[in-house]
Structure 1
Amino acid sequence: MTIPTYDDVCAAHERIAPWIHRTPVLTSRTFDDLSGATLLFKCENFQKAGAFKVRGATNAVFSLTDDQARRGVATHSSGNHALSLSRAAQCRGIPCTVVMPHTAPQAKMDAVRGYGGQIVTCEPSLEARERTLESITQKSGAHFVHPYNDPRVIAGQGTCARELLEQAGPLDALVAPIGGGGMISGSSLTCANVSPATRIYAAEPEQADDAYRSFKAGHIIEDDAPDTIADGLRVSLRPLTWHFVSRHVTDVLLASEREIVDAMRLVWQRMKIVIEPSCAVTLATILKNRPIFENRRVGVILTGGNVDLSKLPWMSVG
């Protein structure tokens, strides 16, 4: 297992710079008052392809040799990695095939196709994704770019926390969502080298709490097909991301479906920006755990804004 280093994050930062946005950091008096903290929102919902995933995907694609890239790339993803890898492949001029569960949001499927990606659907379980992908790569020879258990992807995601620290200054804590753990791993890698006093908190849905259970048990516990509105957080940790979670995360905090939807709606109302449920879990856990964050400077990574506008969650969650 190759463990990425902070040198890899710095190299990724230079490699992907021409292809991504340096996203803004926003503040909100409303949320400072509600949390008792100074919250600094790193807005990856304004990122190319609408999500932080474009960082890792772009770093992976542009790290390939010409010979590796010739047959294209492939992955499995419920959405944001899928569309991010499709965009990165389009930028490099190579094909991209994505295995997506048939339950993936239509907006994300449309984005994949818009970037030239080819979609193969499967049942909504990790086992089905991996089996279908293996069949595709064996036939095509496409280079597999894992959504998170890949050192190139983690190094790319680490550039987000690097930018946040450059823009916001010292942080007492950083909060990011956790599914497979790519963003948390990259953030941990960066903070450990640039701001070791910053505490890392992972935010997770109660209905997809495998990272929480893994963290408490001290080993990976998988949940193959959890049911949560936070569709980007339905996957489990893998050995590479567990390496960072087990060593650097202070705690994993949980939020209910109702709390996630309420936080998402509140951001839309008060900050006037579009975020998706998978990143609303960060704010939900902060508001739920005020004593942890009160009187502290807290970085909050808003990971994406790819939402199906015809199926907004407050229309269906009671």
Structure 2
Amino acid sequence: MIERADQLVLNYVSKAADAAHGVLRADQRLDFAKRLRARIEVERHGSQSAREVAKVLARFGDPAALVEREARRLAEQGVPTKRDLAPAGVPATPEVAVSGEGPGGTRTFPAIVDDRDAPPGVRAYRRIAQERLDQQRQGHGLPLAGLRRAAMSSANPMATGGRDARTIVKEQPRDVSAMVILVVAALLVPIDLPPLAIFEVPVVVWAVGAALVLFSESWKVRDKFLGIGAPLLGYSVGGVLIGGLRVGIEAGMQAFVEQFFDVSGTMFMIGTGVGVVWLAYRLLDVS
């Protein structure tokens, strides 16, 4: 979604601006944040995919490291920074950013790895090596890597581009509501509620949640059908298999039907749980 991609960029630039407090002057911080935002927009090439934007931000690295590199570059040019102006032995204190560009402003942004003068083949292999290194650091390629990175995000927000369960609830309430509705539909199965017209209440609630999932832009089509199809698969196929195993071959159709309706509700609940876990996993996985 466009909002998710832009939010990742804003979060990253905000972290860089926060890291610049006490290091750069107010005018330098403003100039640095402007150039950083402009450079990110160039690197993302207009992409509105949160996954692609997260990869671009991963290439820029730690925002604090960018601030330190900017401070060193200004020091090499003889431009005093907030750190240089602080009295000896007294730590620099944050100040309120003001508009405009002062004498410390600069027009060029420090080159990142891909910008250095090197043959195209060298840059390509360097980029591949960096991507593989990032994958090893973030746990890509391992089972349930997305969930592990989400669990780590409280200690290392860059592991998931600053996204965890809390940010997902805040930024994507409609998607979270869809999963909650599916869970509610499963929890209503054991309760004997009067039907709505000819439809059982859990089926109606499930249909509402399924519609929200289908109209969401956060999941791919395959993930949507897996998420909302798991309860139906559990109800039908699971009910037939478990019910057939419980009554045996020679029990007769009547006994099979009774066993089917006896276990199909439980299988629907299990399928719903599996589907919701899959949707949550794909929502957390921004790699």
Same fold by TM-score, threshold 0.5 exceeded?
A: no
TM value normalised by structure 1:
0.23
RCO comparison, higher one (Cα < 8 Å, 6+): 1
TM value normalised by structure 2:
0.25
Structure having the larger proportion of residues in strand: 1
Kindly name which structure, 1 or 2, has the bigger radius of gyration based on alpha carbons: 2
